[in-house]
């Protein structure tokens, strides 16, 4: 069985923030994220006809996920990213992969 972890974060944008504003901050966050060891894959999505976003990040291990989560709070780029998110709507879970298929994209 793989030891990979899927981090799922759901959230809405902060009041007055446009998706275009958020995507600019997201580009800075991606730079931070891509420099982290243990990152396998990330996908950001928005639910149809909703204000809810889903950030899905695949990690090699739970240790990687929690280590980067701590680094997130210590990073100036990430602190800027947080300003665009309604903190009261954030839900974060870490989920152990129990089965997977290959992604060809």
> How much is the average pLDDT of 64-68?
97
Count of C-beta atoms within a 10 Å radius of residue 29: 21
Question: For residue 80, what are the contacts with CB-CB under 8 A and spacing of at least 6?
Answer: 25, 28
Nearest Cα to Cα of residue 78 among 30, 39, 45: 30
Indicate the average pLDDT of the chain. Answer: 94
What domains sit in the chain, N to C, each tagged with a CATH number? 5-96 (3.30.70.100)
**Whole-structure pTM value:** 0.90
Helix (H) or strand (E) holding 72: helix 62-74
Helix (H, G, I), strand (E, B) or coil at 52: strand
Q: What is the pLDDT of residue 104?
A: 73
Distance CA 48, CA 8 (A): 17
Q: What is the pLDDT of residue 86?
A: 98
> How much is the average pLDDT of 72-101?
94
> In the structure, what pLDDT confidence band is assigned to residue 39 with cuts at 50, 70 and 90?
very high
């Amino acid at each position: 069985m793989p030891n990979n972890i899927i981090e799922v974060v759901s959230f809405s944008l902060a009041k007055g923030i446009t998706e275009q504003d958020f995507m600019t901050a997201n580009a800075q966050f991606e730079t931070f994220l891509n420099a982290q060891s243990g990152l396998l894959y990330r996908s950001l999505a928005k639910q149809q006809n909703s204000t809810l976003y889903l950030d899905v990040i695949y990690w090699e291990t739970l240790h990687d996920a929690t280590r980067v989560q701590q680094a997130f709070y210590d990073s100036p780029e990430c602190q800027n990213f947080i300003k665009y998110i309604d903190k009261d709507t954030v839900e974060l879970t870490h989920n152990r992969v129990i089965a997977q298929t290959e992604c060809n994209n």
